[in-house]
Structure 1
Amino acid sequence: MILKRYFVLFQFLLLIFCFSFFCKPQSTDYSFLSYLGLANQGSYINGIFYPSTNPFVIGDMSHLNGLSGGDTGTVVSATGDDSTLGISTRNNGVADIIFLFDEKGIPFAIDTDGNGVADYYICYKSTKDYYLTTGSRCTGNAVTVIVGQGYDTNGDGVADNPILSQIASDSNPPNSVISPSPGIYGSSTELTIACNDSVAPGNIVYTIDSSTPSFEPIQGSISNPKLKKFTLGSSDGIYTVKYRCRDLAGNVENVHTDPYEFNHNVPTVTISNLNSSGVSSLTGAIGTASFNWSSNYSGTYSIRLNASNCQSGTILQSGNVIANIINSFSISATSFNIGPNTIFVCARAALTGYQTLAIVRDESQPSIIPNPGGGNYGKAQSVNFSCLDNNPLGCGKIAYTLDGSDPNINASNGTILNGIEFQNPISIPVNSAVTLKFIGADLAGNLSPVQSAAYFITTQVATVTTNSFTPVSRVVNATSDQSVTWVSDRNGVFTIRSGANCDFGTILSGTNVAGSVTAGVPVTSTILNSNFVSGANSILICVANAALDPLYGNTSFTITKDNTRPTVSSTNPVDFNIATPVFVTPSPGRIQIVFSKNMDTSFGGISSGSKIKNVCYPIPTNPPLTISVFDGVSWDCIDFTATYTWVSATTLQIDLSWIRFPENAKVTWTLSKDVLRDVAGNTPLNDVQGTFFTAQRQEFFKPFKTDQTSCWDTSGNLVPCAGSNQDGQNQYGMVRSYTVRYYSGFANDAVTEDNTSGLKWKTCSEGKISALNSGVTSCVDIVTPSANCSPKDSSNQPVRLEYWPFYSFQDNSNQVYPSSVNGCSYLNECNAGAGFAGITNWRLPTQRELDTLSVFGYSSGNAAFPSQGFPDPIANYFWSSTLRKSNPFYAWGVNFNYGASDVYVRSNTNNIRCVSGAGTQSQTFTDLGNETILDNTSNLVWQKCSAGLSGNTCNTGTATKPTWSVAISYCSSLSLAGRSWRLPNIKELNSIVDMSSASSIVTIDPVLFPNTKNAGYWSSSSYAPSPSNAWIAYFPTGGMSPFTGKSNTAYIRCVANGP
């Protein structure tokens, strides 16, 4: 049976071994072994592990940052056991981290600076996995030990408690003291050794057997910092206590040696029933000092006057004393010296014991002083008394009255004969005259004379109101003063103070900052700038209701001193950054600036609603705003009118009369610092500047009909359109529809509504005016410019302007040419600001908009405008607001001599026609994957590759370049992707010109239409005035031309209807 039991035990132990060896957990989850009681000796409560034994073993490495946080030093002990356990982060055997233990002897916290108080707490996950927190029981922030530096309590990787670094650099030894002081004691006494250090005190070692205490080797008793208490004197004798301290840096002080003697045979003397600590020989005073005394040992005694021990002084009485018998003694005042005297009562048996008492002989009256003293007060007063007397213990009693009678005291026994004994502060009645009378008796029985103090207290206060401030913002800069106008409803004395309390605030300097105020009379006070500190300053206007301890009527306000210049937080449009290029939408033509602080929105002439015209010539002096557009070489000035609006105290919005920025433009602007300042008066250090690039507005118009209805052969002879597949037969495109209108209230303002595009056009181009006769509108030259609705010259005089450059310039004869970009803006000011025809967003059209007006059906040299809506036959060049992106020296326009879209030198003087409104569609394409491209907006399908080329990148084959008639035949017979193809008309072909292209080689999207040739491409539209020519789109520039003979050759890109 015994063998069987051992065999079962062996099997159990083997099972445990297998689990622990083969089934070893791969993480710190020791729950199974904990269940067996082998791994974690402790228990889990609410997810927190509580060890049952001390998990720190001397010599092991500690991991106060958790198991994965690395070593944090060696576990050490000054005594070799757990009583002085700590961690040496420097691994030198001296602890610079001290453990604190709970009642079970388990470390629960650490002391980092040797003051004996927990700094951080140990959070156990298991006996081997633990870390530090700022709160007990795993609460608060996690704390990281940074060896050599200190403790990181907020997770930023920086030791915000640098104590380890301070300990490492400490070379000064500590200093320890012992209390109570060495001497002779009649019974055992508890002694305390305290270790003091400038950085972190450490272990204490002491002996009581006269041996020299030491840490290495260990000699004596050692304890952790900061205090060590022990009891000495359990038996009589002389004890020699030796002690020293070592700080957490390892510095050790020299040994201290202090002797203590204990003897239980020293008599104990007890004194009682002292009648007074003061005496006086004056009449009516206390003339005798008397007391009782006893000794706990029989023997001899002596009572000595002004002695320093039991062998000195004048013997007043001596003899034998019987143990525990009460004895009486008295002495007259005349036996004492004037002032303090000491009496020793000494009892001697085998040894001598004594007790002392102090008696003051005082022959002078006490001085009683009320506080506060009499006077007029502004708030309720409670009066205390102070007593000045020769006896340091003060007066005996004070009596007072408030009814006008004299108080009195029997000085010999302290009885109050009349009045009230002063024990607590005296509340003085308010709003009436009160006389306080008082008398005092000191401890020697000397009486003061009866004194009095008169009080009058009122608690009503003034109401103070501020009327105005200069500056209104109550924000000053480094030099400006602040003025305030205010009024009080009561007479009084006023001060202007800083702070939040009229009783303690500093009186400020300036004009009218202190003095008398008359009820209802306004006062203007100016506070000098030197009173203010940077930031918010709390200011009080205080009006006192009395001269003493007043209550104040007051009002407060804040003055902010701001020495910081305003800066720009952001601008819109944003500045162009070549690393992350952004091309801004041209609409609206607006600049917005956000400043870093509140600005003075009434300063500089740019308050909200201000409109400031900026001309380019003559060059203005210090204009608020300048704007220029880059032409590829230099910056060109464009005139404008700016409307300024402060959207908020920090945001300035500048709306330009252009309504929109030019397209494809590089624009730079400068806002003068001279028109800007913050509410404190600080100005920006520099002008505010910005430079940005504009894109094209996402605006697309489906191709209009060309209005070409005839067909011609290669020689220019008219032929039937049927079967020709020319533009005149196909008639593809949007149908034009225009209506000329005169809106109510604007009978002289003709507007042409494009019913297809939604745009509204000024019926007459600039330089002409509409005339309505018998219901028919015509456009006639302006003879006398209207003061109400005309462009203005640089002298602000109305002028007739027909021809405009793109930008403003001055020729050699000093003739100033305003820019076409701003040419339409005057219309928005017509009719007293209601705008031409009641419309206030007239502007120069974009190229896409202007292109919608060109027609190609006229066979004569008439202007290529649609006659239905535009009765002015001006056959000339007209500007758009779109620049050529690849070369901004040129701007787009339309030559309405024959309707060609092209680019022109910006200094040319051309006509302009103004527009209002906007298109609502944007152009998008889809690669259908079968060598065709779908224009999703126009619903046209394009041949991806030029004729003769194929493949995804159009690099297979050779682009063909046939004559016009061959081109028409080619497209008509093309069966690509199963569609019916044709040669596009000039409007359709122009719709795929990419005016946003920065390429100087080809103006078409190179991804959608790869390997497009930088040459002309045929359209199916003939040039009606000379029909042996046909229109081509010239893709190197994006322009179009009617001057290519049909017998010449050009490239082909066919089109089909989709989808």
Structure 2
Amino acid sequence: MILKRYFVLFQFLLLIFCFSFFCKPQSTDYSFLSYLGLANQGSYINGIFYPSTNPFVIGDMSHLNGLSGGDTGTVVSATGDDSTLGISTRNNGVADIIFLFDEKGIPFAIDTDGNGVADYYICYKSTKDYYLTTGSRCTGNAVTVIVGQGYDTNGDGVADNPILSQIASDSNPPNSVISPSPGIYGSSTELTIACNDSVAPGNIVYTIDSSTPSFEPIQGSISNPKLKKFTLGSSDGIYTVKYRCRDLAGNVENVHTDPYEFNHNVPTVTISNLNSSGVSSLTGAIGTASFNWSSNYSGTYSIRLNASNCQSGTILQSGNVIANIINSFSISATSFNIGPNTIFVCARAALTGYQTLAIVRDESQPSIIPNPGGGNYGKAQSVNFSCLDNNPLGCGKIAYTLDGSDPNINASNGAILNGIEFQNPISIPVNSAVTLKFIGADLAGNLSPVQSAAYFITTQVATVTTNSFTPVSRVVNATSDQSITWVSDRNGVFTIRSGANCDFGTILSGTNVAGSVTAGVPVTSTILNSNFVSGANSILICVANAALDPLYGNTSFTITKDNTRPTVSSTNPVDFNIATPVFVTPSPGRIQIVFSKNMDTSFGGISSGSKIKNVCYPIPTNPPLTISVFDGVSWDCIDFTATYTWVSATTLQIDLSWIRFPENAKVTWTLSKDVLRDVAGNTPLNDVQGTFFTAQRQEFFKPFKTDQTSCWDTSGNLVPCAGSNQDGQNQYGMVRSYTVRYYSGFANDAVTEDNTSGLKWKTCSEGKISALNSGVTSCVDIVTPSANCSPKDSSNQPVRLEYWPFYSFQDNSNQVYPSSVNGCSYLNECNAGAGFAGITNWRLPTQRELDTLSVFGYSSGNAAFPSQGFPDPIANYFWSSTLRKSNPFYAWGVNFNYGASDVYVRSNTNNIRCVSGAGTQSQTFTDLGNETILDNTSNLVWQKCSAGLSGNTCNTGTATKPTWSVAISYCSSLSLAGRSWRLPNIKELNSIVDMSSASSIVTIDPVLFPNTKNAGYWSSSSYAPSPSNAWIAYFPTGGMSPFTGKSNTAYIRCVANGP
């Protein structure tokens, strides 16, 4: 049995544990746990929680907006216990919210204005989670405490009861009064201290021992507002009552002192059944004051009007009185003075006792005022009444109707004859016209006239939509205004405000920033710049749904005021810095500018897709962009067409018609500040400028065959090639292969494809046009320039141009010469922008590319072009886009009279041949450590030192300078590093010329090939038109020449096949 009893106990405890920790209910019904006493210290009834103990602890933070609604002030007490509990929203120790308690001592409501009446009710969800409602037991609207402002009862975020704000601004002390008046009393008497204040009365403190009452430190008895009742005179003697009041703002009045004497031998006069504290002689009012009275002693009595004691005033009635017999007395209104009157009822036995009455004669109608008054409102309204009357105790009753009928009150007895007695705020129905009629009766029975107030409340709000902004960016500078076009879907009154709230935002200045709006009709409003502060400005367009207490339909946006000029964050190509020199790749021919802020990408004529041609002559006025190339002394203008693209709001990309920058060039560019502004309209302080240096593109072509197939002796006589070790015998180099093509859709555009290098060439040089007859292409002079596909002069007229300077210039006869650098760009606009032969990257070739076309096998003076692919044998100088780095007064080119690569003065007018595509290889070398250098790309191995020299730096020995035939023999017999050596042909020798060298002494890599002589070096190639001469590479400039006789002398650098 004992074991079973313990097992049952264990099961019960286990059940409690389960419900406590694992079996948590999924609803708010905790009745079972409440029964067990485990949850919340309270119980749930019909879904509402009722605490069993006071959940508010002094010093804790309150959460009257719910547990997740934030703090609403500190729980405080004037006495240090629950009897004077309240909340200090200002956290200063003084309550500006007073708790009202139920019979169990649990706060059930709050008093917001110190009148002792519940204003809002506490709805408990648990002991820690609660909120306020307008009705008791969690009924009515939820109420939000807005600290510092008041109470929001309709959920619009605005304090419609602003009492907290009024309390915070109250600096006037309250005033308290005590009743009955001080005097001599024959028995204990109940006294009442009432605290009065213009805003909100608060705590009362009093003493009866003559000590001075105080709130801090506590001295005396303290109670919550508004009344304190207590009984005095339990024994005979003189009592001194001292009292004072503190309002809810914390203002404290001065101390009042009143003496009371109690003597049980003094008759006690008791007054009861006073019919009214006010009387009036007006018809229908209360015309007589009546009451009952008695004395506990027999003797004589007198009833006196407006006396200050029992020996003064007008005697209304006197005689004998029998102890404890109730007597009746009445007096007409006409006997009273207008205003307050005092009646003394005096009874005398051995001593005299008395009791007093205050009666007000009031001959005026009360004034009843609804708050808020009638009108069109945008929010739900609750109407209160205020009553102004001559009786300081206020009005009697107020009756009202909402059905259009007249309310009525029986003034003599206060009965409501028609209507509803006003006791709580009246909720006005929404979305319909409502007439509120009301009447009031004061304590004297005077009736006010029936009054009415018309209300129309609509809670529907407009939808506001913005259509456009000017500027679109919504960013203004120091002077510009902002315009907005917008529309509302409802009629209303609008304002444009700054801030985040239509109720409190500042109305802005400008055009159409306030007024009436018609549904569906667009409004353009302009906000003046002076309204904006630097940075982001929050703007609201507010459309009120009513004239009074409106709700707003609104839309918000941000306008940014930006007074800062844009600056350049970076450019590409980067500016040249001599301390950390960077040479940029010439491809692509593009300038990119990154600005410090968002720019107006539609301004200045340089919006995305804009193409602007810039000519050098006549000199343009305020062009957006200028570009020049340095010639060593001055800056030379080069014409171009720029295509502008805003990659983003901060990044401008400028693509040049050159496709690539010139190689080995110092380039400067200037973009005018006049074509730039940020989204706010601020312009740069200065033009945007940049200067940079270009390198050579990493592009290399393996040496082609020279196409030389004959051999000659020193005198220029033909000899058999076998055993000669000449170029005509060796036949080293890449085999040429060209095909002339006409691509589909471009039947008139001949293109020569280099099947070995991958380059595509315009078959005919500039100034000529292709002609196809019987399957054979020829190049003929242009007679009439085509408007569709021709270069344009400075007047934008098509012209035939055959000869071009490297840069643009104007001669003494005012003849304008466009630059060769831009000479091929027109091809990219041919065929309505599809490009010549459908290709849109035609450009001037680099020197490496142009060199691939020179051949050396023709024995006549014909042009040194490959005849297979180029039917226009123009024996002349042709430009490349490569400058001489050591002296940019010169540019590289090829003299196709005989195929020589060399540099020429840039002002010369030469031919040009346009190219498309690019090489895919770059040239690299390896020092093999045995006085040989491997060209990894061409697979040629070079003698590191000139013949006659040796050592790692080639400083040992003397460089030999033999004749041509000796040079051939020297290389043929060389056994360096166990390789078979030969004298290189001119193409091979030209492949180690370093056109990127800045040296004015020698154009070869001085590390790979140290101590190279600044003189000519023999090749194995004869000059076919005059075979007693041989080709040399002239390393001081890097050029080549066919005019050195074979009997003359030159230096030697041998080559072998590798690796």
Short-chain TM bin: 0.5 to 0.7
CA deviation vs aligned residue, 1:912-964 (integer Å, no higher than 9, x gap): 11101111111112222332222111111222222333333333333333332
Output the CA distance in 2 between the equivalents of 1:221 and 1:452. 47
Q: Distance in 1 between matches of 2:65 and 2:123?
A: 10
Query: Which deviates more, 956-965 or 482-491?
Result: 482-491
Distance in 1 separating the partners of 2:543 and 2:18: 90
Task: Report the secondary structure of 1:317's partner residue.
Answer: strand
Asked if the contact 2:42–2:52 (Cα under 8 Å) also holds between the matched residues in 1, the reply is: yes
Going from structure 1 to structure 2, the CA distance change for 1:266 and 1:747 (only over 3 Å counts) comes to: farther
- Deviates further, 627-636 or 452-461: 452-461
State the distance in 2 between where 1:351 and 1:714 align.
169
When structure 1 is superposed on structure 2, of 1016-1025 and 180-189 the one drifting more is 180-189
Equivalent residues of 1:310, 1:344 under 8 A apart: yes
Change (3 A) 1:215 1:69: same
Residue 544 of structure 1 deviates from its aligned partner by 4.3
CA deviation after TM superposition for structure 1 residue 450, in Å: 3.5
User: Against the structure 1 CA distance between its residues 71 and 357, is the aligned structure 2 distance closer, same or farther, given a 3 Å change threshold?
Assistant: closer
Further displaced range: 663-672 or 650-659 = 650-659
Structure 1 counterpart of 2:530: 530
CA pair 339-141 structure 1, distance change in 2 beyond 3 A: closer
Partners in 2 of 1:890 and 1:73 — Cα distance? 86
Q: CA deviation at 1:459?
A: 4.3
Matches within 5 A, 1:942-981: 942-981=942-981
Shift of 1:536: 4.2
Aligned-pair distance for 1:785? Answer: 1.9
TM (norm. structure 2) is 0.68
* Counterpart Cα distance in 2 of 1:490 and 1:107: 46
Q: CA deviation at 1:580?
A: 2.5
C-alpha distance 963-548 of structure 1, shift in aligned 2 (>3 A) = same
Q: 1:755 to 1:302 in 2, by over 3 A?
A: farther
Distance in 1, matches of 2:444 and 2:85, equals 62
CA distance in 1, matches of 2:920, 2:964: 35
Is the Cα–Cα contact under 8 Å of residues 877 and 895 in structure 1 kept in the other structure?
yes
Change (3 A) 1:553 1:23: closer
The Cα offsets for residues 695-732 of structure 1, whole Å up to 9 and x where unpaired, read as: 11111111111111222233333222222222222211
**Secondary structure in 2 matching 1:434:** strand
C-alpha distance in 2 between matches for 1:989 and 1:140: 102
Give, in whole Å, the separation in 1 of the partners of 2:100 and 2:398.
Answer: 55
Give the Cα–Cα distance (whole angstroms) in 1 for the partners of residues 549 and 451 of structure 2.
22
- Tell me, yes or no, if the aligned pair for 1:601 and 1:608 is still in contact at 8 Å: yes
Deviation digits for residues 858-878 of structure 1 (CA, Å, limit 9, x no counterpart):
222111111111121211111
> Residue 992 of structure 2 aligns to a residue in which SS?
coil
Please list the CA deviations of residues 423-464 of structure 1 after superposition, one character each: whole Å capped at 9, or x if unmatched: 432121234332212234567876544422122334455555
Once residues 131 and 624 of structure 1 are traced to their aligned partners in structure 2, the CA distance between those partners, rounded to angstroms, is: 68
Deviations 1:769-805 (A, max 9, x none): 2222222222222222222222111122222211111
Q: Distance in 2 between matches of 1:251 and 1:276?
A: 35
Check conservation: 1:116, 1:225, Cα contact below 8 A.
yes
Superposed displacement of residue 107, structure 1: 37
Which residue is 1:42 aligned to?
42
The residue number in structure 2 matching 1:324 is: 324
Per the alignment, do residues 294 and 1048 of structure 1 end up closer, same or farther by CA in structure 2, a change over 3 Å counting?
Answer: farther
How far the C-alpha of 1:635 sits from its partner, in A, is 0.6
Q: How far apart are the structure 2 equivalents of 1:1001 and 1:244?
A: 110
Post-superposition CA distance 1:384-407 (Å, at most 9, x none):
223345677765654322233444
The alpha-carbon distance between structure 1 residues 1023 and 39, as it changes in their structure 2 partners (threshold 3 A), is farther
CA distance in 1, matches of 2:946, 2:133: 75
What are the superposed Cα offsets for residues 633-661 of structure 1, whole Å, 9 maximum, x if unpaired? 11100011112223333332221111111
Relative to structure 1, the CA distance from residue 924 to residue 16 in structure 2 (aligned partners, 3 Å threshold; closer, same or farther) is farther
Aligned pairs for 1:426-575 (under 5 A) are 426-440=426-440, 448-575=448-575
Comparing 406-415 with 296-305, greater Cα deviation is found at 296-305
Which residue does 2:1017 correspond to in 1? 1017
User: How far is 1:267 from its partner?
Assistant: 21
Q: Rate the CA distance shift 1:27–1:283 in 2: closer, same or farther, 3 A.
A: closer
Deviation at 1:349, TM superposition (A): 23
Would you say the 8 A contact 1:586–1:663 is kept in 2? yes
Which has the higher mean CA deviation after the structures are superposed, 832-841 or 131-140?
A: 131-140
Q: Do the aligned partners of 2:399 and 2:439 also contact (CA within 8 Å) in 1? A: yes
Partner SS for 2:459: coil
Aligned twin of 1:120: 120
Question: Take 1:755 and 1:844, find their aligned partners in 2: how far apart are those partners?
Answer: 19
Instruction: Judge which range, 1031-1040 or 915-924, deviates more.
Output: 1031-1040
Cα distance in 2 for residues equivalent to 1:299 and 1:848: 144
Map of 1:652 onto structure 2: 652
Residue matched to 1:26:
26
Query: Alpha carbons of 1:45 and 1:269: their partners in 2 closer, same or farther (altered >3 Å)?
Result: closer
Distance 1:742 1:29, change over 3 A: same
**SS in structure 2 at match of 1:786:** coil
Q: Tell me by how many angstroms 1:321 deviates.
A: 21
**Residue 70 to residue 448, structure 1, CA distance change in 2 (3 Å):** closer
Segments of structure 2 that go 5 or more residues without pairing to the other structure are none
Q: CA deviation at 1:108?
A: 38
User: SS in structure 1 opposite 2:64?
Assistant: coil
Identify which range, 306-315 or 967-976, moves more after superposition.
306-315
Range 810-819 or range 153-162, more displaced: 153-162
**8 Å Cα contact 2:184-2:353 kept in structure 1:** no
The CA deviation string for residues 116-157 of structure 1, in whole angstroms up to 9 with x for no partner, is 999999999999999999999999999999999999999999
Select between 313-322 and 538-547 the one with higher mean Cα deviation.
Answer: 313-322
Deviates more, 1:887-896 or 1:777-786: 777-786
Deviations along 1:345-384, one digit per CA (max 9) or x if unpaired, are 9999999999999999977654321122122334433222
Point out the more displaced range, 484-493 or 43-52.
43-52
Q: Residue 1021 of structure 1: CA displacement?
A: 1.7
**Identical residues among aligned pairs (%):** 100
Give ranges in structure 1 of 5+ residues lacking alignment.
Answer: none
Preserved contact between residue 76 and residue 86 of structure 1 (Cα < 8 Å): yes
In the TM superposition, what is the alpha-carbon distance from 1:755 to its structure 2 partner?
Answer: 0.3
Deviation digits for residues 242-297 of structure 1 (CA, Å, limit 9, x no counterpart)? 99999999999999999999999999999999999999999999999999999999
3-state SS, counterpart of residue 753 of structure 1: strand
Instruction: Label 1:506 to 1:183 Cα distance change in 2 as closer, same or farther (>3 A).
Output: farther
Partner-residue secondary structure (3-state), 1:4? helix
SS of equivalent to 1:864: coil
1:33 match: secondary structure: helix
CA deviation profile, 1:141-174 (whole Å, cap 9, x unmatched): 9999999999999999999999999999999999
Tell me the alpha carbon deviations over residues 586-634 of structure 1, each in whole angstroms, 9 at most, x when there is no partner: 1111122223333333332222222221111111111121111111111
Look up the SS of the partner of 1:54 in the other structure: coil
- CA shift at 1:337, angstroms? 10
Structure 1 residues 523 and 14: alpha-carbon distance in aligned structure 2, compared to 1, 3 A threshold: closer
More divergent stretch after superposition (398-407 vs 793-802): 398-407
Alignment check: 8 A CA contact 1:28 1:129 kept: no
Structure 1 length-normalised TM: 0.68
The 10-residue stretch of structure 1 (999-1008 or 47-56) with the greater mean CA deviation from structure 2: 47-56
The 2-side partners of 1:37 and 1:458 are apart by: 49
- Higher mean alpha-carbon deviation, 349-358 vs 625-634, is at 349-358
Q: How does 1:159-174 map to 2 (within 5 A)?
A: none
Contact 1:342–1:359 under 8 Å retained in 2: yes
In 2, distance between residues paired with 1:233 and 1:1009? 128
Specify whether residues 885 and 225 from structure 1 end up closer, same or farther in structure 2 by C-alpha distance, changes over 3 A only: farther
What is the number of residues matched between the two proteins?
1059
Secondary structure at 2:506's aligned position in 1? Answer: coil
RMSD between superposed Cα atoms in Å: 13.3
- Quote how far apart the aligned CAs of 1:421 are: 3.4
Helix, strand or coil at the partner of 1:18: helix
Q: Could you tell me how far apart the structure 2 residues matched to 1:123 and 1:458 are? A: 29
Judged with a 3 Å threshold, the aligned counterparts in structure 2 of structure 1 residues 749 and 411 are, in CA distance, closer, same or farther, namely: same
Summarize the Cα distance change of 1:862–1:488 in structure 2 as closer, same or farther, 3 Å threshold. same
CA–CA separation in structure 1 for the residues paired with 2:469 and 2:383: 42
Q: CA deviation at 1:526?
A: 4.0
* Deviation by residue 1:565-587 (Cα, 9 ceiling, x = unmatched): 33333222222222332222111
Q: Compared with structure 1, are the counterparts of its residues 913 and 92 closer, same or farther at alpha carbon in structure 2 (3 Å cutoff)? A: same
Which digits, 9 at most, give the CA deviation of each residue in 1:37-76, with x for residues without a partner?
A: 9999999999999999999999999999999999999999
Displacement, 1:1046? 2.5
Q: Cα distance, 1:1003 vs. partner?
A: 1.6
User: In 2, distance between residues paired with 1:146 and 1:426?
Assistant: 23
SS of the residue corresponding to residue 507 of structure 2 reads: coil
Tell me how far apart the structure 1 counterparts of residues 134 and 36 of structure 2 sit (CA, whole Å).
Answer: 33
Label 1:883 to 1:147 Cα distance change in 2 as closer, same or farther (>3 A): farther
Is the 8 Å Cα contact of residues 993 and 1004 (structure 2) preserved in structure 1?
yes
